[in-house]
Chains A and B, each alone.
Chain A
Amino acid sequence: MKHMFDSAIIDADKKQKVRKADICFVLAILAVAFVGFFIIKLQSAKGSYAVVSYDGEVLLSQILLEQPEPVYYMLTYEKLDNGIAIWELSAKDWEATNLPNSEYNVFICADSEIRMLQSSCPDKICVHHSAISNTGENIICLPHKLVIEIKGGKENDLDGVAY
């Protein structure tokens, strides 16, 4: 009886102590994360334009970040799979605009940054996202399959070569 009890304690002990494999695993993951951070940092630069795509297809290919005045962009989705209308509005027009009954996203391009202002999606992750301005940064509205990505910037930009 005592014997059985002992082995149970040893077993529980094993589960409760941090083991060598744990540390190796954590270090491996952190190494990958660190390399990723480093690569992003190397490529990071102020972007020059933004690309908006829906479901993998480009909707707006060149939104210049440097704009004399803030520009509001409103996307309305009739149904999630077809019929996307894109509205480009000045601040004045935007104030006079009512939000549509259909699903929508509204983002603003001002001060060389893009920020999601409003969205009809349930989780609002895109709206809580911080403003983006550096190459590679993006805002994703997953329920609406919408991606806004910053591009341009460095001369040796890979996308620049491809075009």
Chain B
Amino acid sequence: MKKTVTLGFLLALSMILSYIESVLPLSIGIPGIKLGLPNLIVVILLYLYGEKEALTVNILRIVLSGFMFGNLFAILYALAGALFSFTVMLIMKKLNIFSIAGVSIGGGVFHNIGQLIVAMLVVETYAPIFYLPVLLAAGVVTGFIIGLVSMRLMPYIQNKW
């Protein structure tokens, strides 16, 4: 019961973070760069409960906030990046040689790679590959920020719940 409440609470929180991210005017002339705030919840869930809970909340978050603030196309695009990123984070966590920050950085980087692959499939040209270097670097930076915050939050959350 307590777990259900916690998961519901974190789902709501991740939707709010999705919304904040969608209104943040982060237009620096390069497409696809964002902070990945909702990934904070995914990383925390991955360590707090496990992959099933993290994946469920992640998919629900994308579909629900997609219908509320986005559209079907945005949902599919976000799902592709999220699933790719989630798979990599899971593998990295299972390897047991990375810290939370490392896992989060892996998630950030591979989220961007996943979306780049989808972009190439959609437009059927290799043109998007032009953005790979900047997206890799951006993934490291945003993943590190999210990882650092989760690292700091983890002890408090583990004690509370």
Q: Is the CB of B47 within 8 A of A15?
A: yes
Specify the chain A residue showing the minimal Cβ separation from B132. A36
Bound CA span A93–B105, Å: 49
Q: Is the interface of B mostly helix, strand, loop or mixed?
A: helix
B residues in contact with A130, CB < 8 Å: 29-30
Q: Out of A14, A30, A56, A128, which one reaches B123, CB within 8 Å?
A: A56
Q: Is the interface of A mostly helix, strand, loop or mixed?
A: helix
Q: Is the CB of A122 within 8 A of B73?
A: yes
B109 in the interface, Cβ–Cβ < 8 Å? Answer: yes
B residues in contact with A19, CB < 8 Å: 97-99, 102
**Shortest Cβ gap from A93 to chain B (Å):** 28
A residues in contact with B95, CB < 8 Å: 21
**Shortest Cβ gap from A48 to chain B (Å):** 17
Q: Is the CB of B122 within 8 A of A29?
A: no
Bitwise, A20-38 to B at CB < 8 A (1) or not (0) is 1110011001101111110
Specify the chain A residue showing the minimal Cβ separation from B97. A21
Bitwise, B27-55 to A at CB < 8 A (1) or not (0) is 10111100000000000000100000000
B119 in the interface, Cβ–Cβ < 8 Å? Answer: yes
Report the stretch among A70-78, A104-112, A134-142 that lies at the interface. Answer: A134-142
A60 in the interface, Cβ–Cβ < 8 Å? Answer: no
A154 in the interface, Cβ–Cβ < 8 Å? Answer: no
B158 in the interface, Cβ–Cβ < 8 Å? Answer: yes
Q: Is the CB of B122 within 8 A of A142?
A: yes
Bound CA span A36–B127, Å: 14
Q: Is the CB of A128 within 8 A of B27?
A: yes
Bound CA span A53–B137, Å: 28
A125 in the interface, Cβ–Cβ < 8 Å? Answer: yes
Q: Is the CB of B102 within 8 A of A40?
A: no
Report the stretch among A61-69, A94-102, A145-153 that lies at the interface. Answer: A145-153
**Listed residue (B30, B31, B47) with the most chain A CB atoms within 10 angstroms of its CB:** B31
Q: Taking A25-B98, A122-B70, A145-B122 as contacts, is the C-beta distance between A16 and B140 under 8 angstroms?
A: no
Q: Which residues of chain A in 117-163 are interfacial with respect to chain B, using CB atoms and an 8 Å cutoff?
A: 122-123, 125-126, 128-130, 136-138, 140, 142-143, 145-147, 149
B residues in contact with A20, CB < 8 Å: 97
Q: Is the CB of A17 within 8 A of B99?
A: yes
Specify the chain B residue showing the minimal Cβ separation from A20. B97
**Shortest Cβ gap from B18 to chain A (Å):** 14
B residues in contact with A125, CB < 8 Å: 31-32
Q: Is the CB of B133 within 8 A of A40?
A: yes
Bound CA span A19–B93, Å: 13
Which residues from chain B sit less than 8 Å from chain A, CB to CB? 27, 29-32, 47, 70-71, 73-74, 77, 95, 97-102, 105-106, 109, 119, 122-125, 127-128, 130, 132-134, 136-137, 139-140, 144, 151, 154-155, 158
16 additional A-B pairs beyond A14-B99, A22-B101, A25-B106, beta carbons within 8 Å, are A12-B158, A15-B154, A18-B99, A18-B101, A22-B98, A29-B139, A29-B140, A32-B133, A33-B133, A33-B140, A34-B133, A56-B124, A128-B31, A140-B123, A140-B128, A147-B127
